[in-house]
């Protein structure tokens, strides 16, 4: 007699408490979540690559950032490696479409990783503020870049990137505002979403144009 197969147990949704919290805020959040479905945010294992991609994506469209990142991986290998990018140098990085300034920022990051000044393999043991302080000490790494790292690599649940243009536009649509909200107003509008502002951002991005990192 064949053994009876045990029923598969679906893993619990790690973001279920966040969705419950957001759905309880108002009907707009409920309908947004119902329309988009479960939060699919998962931790990216490639921490260095995520930071490189965030530098690439500074002040350009998601489509343009993806194209440059793809070209860089074609010449530098998959995944991004600090030493290999340092070997390419400024001119090699400029060859894939990076500006001189961004090329230098990527090299600053690569050097910090190589020397151990930015120990990204163990920053998950740190508080958000400590991670921000460490990484923003690298020239070219600003708050937005670190926020993307906290969200997409570490899945920290309560990160708000108030200066992100996509978030500002999405909040304008969500709250039917006449103008783009300032970063300060973004913080005020998303205060009720604490301690799950990361998940709120994910839904805003998904509805507007997809995450831009």
Residue with tokens 């043991």: 125
- The C-alpha atoms of residue 79 and residue 29 are separated, in whole angstroms, by 36
Active site residue 164: yes
Given the residues 13, 69, 158, 164, select the one marked as catalytic: 164
Task: For residue 196, give the 3-state DSSP assignment.
Answer: coil
H or E stretch at 15: none
Q: Count of CB atoms within 10 A of residue 141's CB?
A: 23
> Cβ contacts of residue 31 below 8 Å, gap of 6+?
none
- The C-alpha atoms of residue 137 and residue 111 are separated, in whole angstroms, by 13
Active site residues: 164
């Amino acid at each position: 007699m064949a053994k009876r197969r045990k029923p598969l147990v679906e893993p619990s949704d790690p973001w279920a408490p966040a969705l419950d919290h957001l759905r309880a805020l108002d009907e707009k959040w409920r309908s947004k979540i119902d329309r988009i479905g479960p939060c699919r945010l998962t931790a990216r294992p490639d921490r260095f690559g995520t930071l490189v991609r965030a530098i690439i994506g500074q002040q350009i469209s998601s489509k343009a950032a993806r194209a440059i990142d793809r070209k860089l991986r074609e010449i530098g290998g998959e995944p991004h490696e600090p030493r290999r990018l340092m070997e390419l140098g400024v001119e090699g990085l400029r060859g894939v479409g990076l500006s001189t300034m961004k090329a230098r920022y990527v090299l600053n990051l690569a050097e910090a990783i190589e020397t151990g000044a930015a120990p990204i393999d163990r920053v998950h043991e740190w508080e958000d503020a400590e991670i921000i302080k460490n990484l923003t000490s690298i020239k070219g790494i600003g708050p937005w870049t670190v926020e993307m790292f906290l969200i997409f690599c570490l899945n920290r649940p309560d990160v708000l990137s108030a200066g992100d243009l996509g978030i500002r536009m999405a909040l304008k649509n969500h709250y039917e505002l006449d103008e783009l909200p300032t970063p300060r107003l973004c913080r005020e509008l998303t205060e009720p979403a604490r301690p799950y502002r990361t998940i709120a951002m994910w839904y805003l991005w998904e509805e507007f144009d997809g995450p831009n990192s």
